[in-house]
Chain A
């Protein structure tokens, strides 16, 4: 399967601990996105990369969140000093947009479900 993969699928952590999630996009896709989704809500944009450059980060995202895509391939999302409000599904998606600024369809992974106790 050459789709988007995320690891781990589930993570339970205690409040105050740091967690890191990994996303492996589809290999030829140059854009990579992170979204957060809570129960009954739509995905909320967190950040996205074009190759290794982080082009946008949501203003709603606290400084405890950081994402990297060091070689323009896989990406990691780290949450420091986790809080119970961080409990959510963290979704990664990738795409390969055509030339220009138009967004093309996103291919999503199955997410990492984080539970902070």
Chain B
């Protein structure tokens, strides 16, 4: 079963623009993580935000978390063609496993 729902399902932008992806979830969480997946490959961890954190940065990535709304967003600034991939949020609510959302497919056109 999937806990997270991502929005939009697909996003197409030009290089240099910012990309924002949103994730909503249903139950209380310990932390929320974002992953990236290139076609035919495994997922790569991008960033983890704990339930007591509201914002976190890593390079061109900015993640926010609103536990009252059970939602998170991932912002990629100054996007590059190499950022083209699928992006997934995943929630840790029971301390054992991660539950992934459906993903956002990002296409960055040069």
Residues of A within 8 A of B (CB): 4, 33, 35, 40-45, 48, 55-56, 60, 91, 93, 100-111, 113
Contacts and interface: CB of A to CB of B under 8 A. Distances in A.
A101 B42 contact: no
Interface stretch (B11-19, B64-72, B74-82, B93-101): B93-101
A85 B102 CA distance: 19
Interface in B1-60: 1-2, 4, 30-31, 33, 35, 40-45, 48
A103 to B, nearest CB: 4
Contacts of A35: 100
Classify the secondary structure of B's interface with A: loop
Contacts of B103: 40-42
Contacts of A48: 96-97
A105 B48 CA distance: 7
A103 B42 contact: no
Nearest to A101: B95
Q: Is the interface of A mostly helix, strand, loop or mixed?
A: loop
Question: Considering residues A43, A102, A113, which has the most beta carbons from chain B within 10 angstroms of its beta carbon?
Answer: A43
A55 to B, nearest CB: 6
A101 B92 CA distance: 10
A104 B98 CA distance: 9
A108 B98 contact: no
A103 B98 contact: yes
B43 A91 contact: yes
Contacts of A102: 30-31, 92, 95
A42 B4 CA distance: 9
B97 A108 contact: no
